[in-house]
Amino acid sequence: MLTHMQSYTIGQAARLLGVSPDTARRWADAGRVATHRDEGGRRVIDGRDLAAFSIEVGQSGAVEDETPYTTARNAFPGIVTAVKLGDVAAQVEIQAGPHRLVSLLTREAVEELGLEVGMQATARVKSTNVHIDRT
């Protein structure tokens, strides 16, 4: 388990949600996602709050006239929204902007990567496989 919850700046959250920093700031100002100030005075969003909000944004199907953020080579940086562990297998869900990606992998791989809800990760899609990288 993480001993320190990961937090994201408005700019980092915007990149993970696939929107501009201005859009993320407007959403925070409107109270759509909770923020607080870190030790340096920056406005940040707790990882679990961002994970929950990213699901809401992804399910809405539209991101206020924003173009979804993707990178070359089918890599989708996002935030882990669910981790389901079985005895041998695991399922990890990542919300990358409007895209929800689900990867089936071994429990051992999830534990080695230390994947938890609220942390940043990248889903790499090749054919019908989704690979997860910690970012």
∠ CA(12), CA(14), CA(18), 5° rounding?
Answer: 120
Query: Model-level pTM greater than 0.85?
Result: no
Terminal-to-terminal C-alpha distance of the chain: 17
Q: What is the pLDDT of residue 59?
A: 72
Q: Which residues on adjacent β-strands are paired with residue 130?
A: 125
pLDDT tens for the chain, residues 1 to 135: 445 678 999 999 998 888 888 889 989 998 999 999 999 999 999 999 999 998 888 776 545 544 444 444 688 889 999 999 999 999 999 999 889 999 999 999 999 899 999 999 999 888 777 888 887
The Cα 117–Cα 111 span in angstroms is 13
Count of residues in the chain: 135
The Cα 116–Cα 62 span in angstroms is 26
Strands (E), 4-51: 7-9, 36-37, 43-46
Return the DSSP state at 108.
H
